[in-house]
């Protein structure tokens, strides 16, 4: 598998390190990025993390903005200027900086959440609240999509 999937919760050790889940480390190893690239999430009180896949997405986003534009400078500042590259030790642990922990509200535990090409690092209670809200939104979207479907054969064909 070359995608970050599932979620895992872990505790920071006495030195402030946390172990990256083994399945996430496997994806990172195949990606070939040395270390772990992190930046404060633009959408949530969480950290976006990954390697070459995440950087490729960021590079593509910024490349589509006009050179020397305010938008390009703003995105570059948020996605490169606030980023950090952390070293992963031989046991698969990283030490989150105080700046990153403060953005995500992390104290002594984290939840790693797979999002396909990247993963996020959350404070566990904040992630539970986010997950509850996401589930509600998915149910609402499912109901909206279902309302647009009709079927004469019972198969559920979506109207266009």
Q: Render pLDDT for 16-46 as a digit per residue (tens, 0 to 9).
A: 999 999 999 999 999 999 999 999 999 999 9
Beta strands in 4-156 (DSSP E): 7-11, 17-19, 36-40, 47-50, 84-86, 93-95, 109-114, 119-122, 149-150
Q: Render pLDDT for 59-85 as a digit per residue (tens, 0 to 9).
A: 999 999 999 999 999 999 999 999 999
Q: Where do the domains of the chain lie, and which CATH numbers do they carry?
A: 7-123 (3.40.1550.20)
The closest alpha carbon to 109, from 2, 1, 4, 17, belongs to 17
CA distance 86 to 27: 16
Q: Render pLDDT for 104-127 as a digit per residue (tens, 0 to 9).
A: 999 999 999 999 999 999 999 999
CB atoms closer than 10 angstroms to residue 28: 24
């Amino acid at each position: 598998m070359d995608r970050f999937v599932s979620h895992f919760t872990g505790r920071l050790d006495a030195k402030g390190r946390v172990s990256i889940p083994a399945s996430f480390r496997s994806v990172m190893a195949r990606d070939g990025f040395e270390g772990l690239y992190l930046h404060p999430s633009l959408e949530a009180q969480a950290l976006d993390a990954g390697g070459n896949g995440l950087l490729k997405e960021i590079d593509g986003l910024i490349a589509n903005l006009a050179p020397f534009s305010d938008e390009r400078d703003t995105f570059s500042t948020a996605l490169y200027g606030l980023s950090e590259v952390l070293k992963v030790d031989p046991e698969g642990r990283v030490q989150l900086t105080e700046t990153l922990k403060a953005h995500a509200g992390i104290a002594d535990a984290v939840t790693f959440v797979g999002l396909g090409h990247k993963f996020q690092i959350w404070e566990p209670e904040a992630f539970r609240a986010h997950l509850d809200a996401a589930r509600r939104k998915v149910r609402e979207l499912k109901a909206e999509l279902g309302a647009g479907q009709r079927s004469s054969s019972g198969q559920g064909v979506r109207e266009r």
